[in-house]
Every structure is written in C-alpha cells, then in structure tokens.
Chain A
Amino acid sequence: DVKVTQSSRYLVKRTGEKVFLECVQDMDHENMFWYRQDPGLGLRLIYFSYDVKMKEKGDIPEGYSVSREKKERFSLILESASTNQTSMYLCASSFDEPSYDEQFFGPGTRLTVL
C-alpha cells in the first residue's frame, strides 16, 4: 500500500512565523503535489514537483515555496504566515504522468494562523 504521511495533523502558528509542512511518500513516486482545501473552493494546487529539485507553480503559489531535496520528501514553506493561509493542506503523490495517474493523498494538515 502506498503511504503518504504528513508531519502534523494540526498546527497553530502566529502571523509572521515561518512554517514548514513536511510530506513523505514511501513508494518511490516521481511526482508530488501540495494542495490547499477550503470549503466551497475544493482543492487548489499550490506547487508540484516531478523530480528531485524540480518544481512547478500551481494555481495559487503566492506566499508559498517548496523544497524537494530527496525523492520521497516534499516540503511546503510559508515564509511569513498570514491569517488568510489558515486552511487544510493536503500532500499527494503519483508514480506516472500526472495527467492520468491516480494521486495518493496524505491525511492533511489543518493549519491555523492567529
């Protein structure tokens, strides 16, 4: 079974703090993704990576950056957290071409920025 894990289920941070969200997958998947999930908006892609050290912006990259130093790990960084970044963050991975391959999701991190 593919396993995608995220470092925290719940996180509370203060405005202006630097926040790291970690995601690890154990199935040697090429592609990894970060989404945020908000009620009424569905999931929106923040960034994705198709190889180590390779990244591409998604639909809402502003205020975020990512790092992929190892194939199994993909980190989302909020350089200076703001209250409008309070959300559920989901990590996902896929083995093959993202256009048709199933994505496997982590349990999510619910981030609250005060």
Chain B
Amino acid sequence: AQTVTQSQPEMSVQEAETVTLSCTYDTSESDYYLFWYKQPPSRQMILVIRQEAYKQQNATENRFSVNFQKAAKSFSLKISDSQLGDAAMYFCALTSGSRLTFGEGTQLTVNP
C-alpha cells in the first residue's frame, strides 16, 4: 500500500512572499511519479507540477518548484512571489502502477 501525508491542513502567506507546502509519502515501488494538484475555490482541479522519481533534478514550473528528497520520501512544493490567484487547496499525489493516491490537502490563503 502507498500513502501520502500532508501535515499542514492550512497555510497562509503574504502576497509576493514565498511559501513551502510539505508532503511525505511511502511506497515500496522504485518507479513512481509525484504530483502537486491545485483546486481553486469552486473551480476544477489542475496539475501544478510533476516529478519523476528516477530524476534527481527538481522539477520547476515558473514560480512553482519542488524539493524532492527521495531517501527521505519527501516532496515539498515551493511557491515564490505568491499571488492572490494562488489561493487554493493543494494536493500532493503519488502514482505507481495505475493508482493515484492523494494526500489530505493543504488550504493555502494568500493575504494582500
């Protein structure tokens, strides 16, 4: 069985500041992928960033980057220069085989 844990139910950040959302996981697979999805209020869930476990280099998408620590089974999301539109529920997810396992979610508030 694989598990994903997000230990921060809620986080807040000031506009233009940087925030890091934490995620830890557990899997017995050696080949897997990790994702961060964003669910804005009353809007559809969208992919933020994806990391292949076999790649050592951390994925980056504009203001979003990850800190992937394979040995520690940690996969945190850093949002730089936070914007009001970043306010959302963020989910960490793990796949191996055909199953996508989500964490509990972190509600991010961005303060103007």
Contacts and interface: CB of A to CB of B under 8 A. Distances in A.
Interface of A: 4, 33, 35, 40-45, 48, 50, 56, 58-59, 90, 92, 97-100, 102-103, 105-108
Interface stretch (B14-22, B43-51, B56-64, B75-83): B43-51
A99 B103 contact: no
B43 A45 contact: no
A58 B1 CA distance: 12
Nearest to B6: A42
A42 B103 contact: yes
B43 A48 contact: no
A44 B44 CA distance: 16
B98 A99 contact: yes
Interface string B13-47: 00000000000000000001101010000011111
17 contacts: A4-B44, A40-B9, A42-B91, A42-B103, A58-B99, A92-B45, A98-B95, A99-B95, A99-B96, A99-B98, A100-B33, A100-B52, A103-B47, A105-B44, A105-B46, A107-B43, A107-B44
A41 B104 contact: yes
Nearest to A40: B104
Contact of B98 (A56, A90, A92): A56
Given A42-B91, A42-B102, A99-B97, 4 more contacts: A48-B98, A98-B99, A102-B47, A102-B50
Most-contacted residue by chain B among A42, A90, A98, A106 (CB, 10 A): A42
Interface of B: 4, 6, 9, 32-33, 35, 37, 43-47, 50, 52, 91, 93, 95-105
Contact of A43 (B52, B96, B102): B102
A33 B93 CA distance: 15
A13 B10 CA distance: 32
A43 B6 CA distance: 13
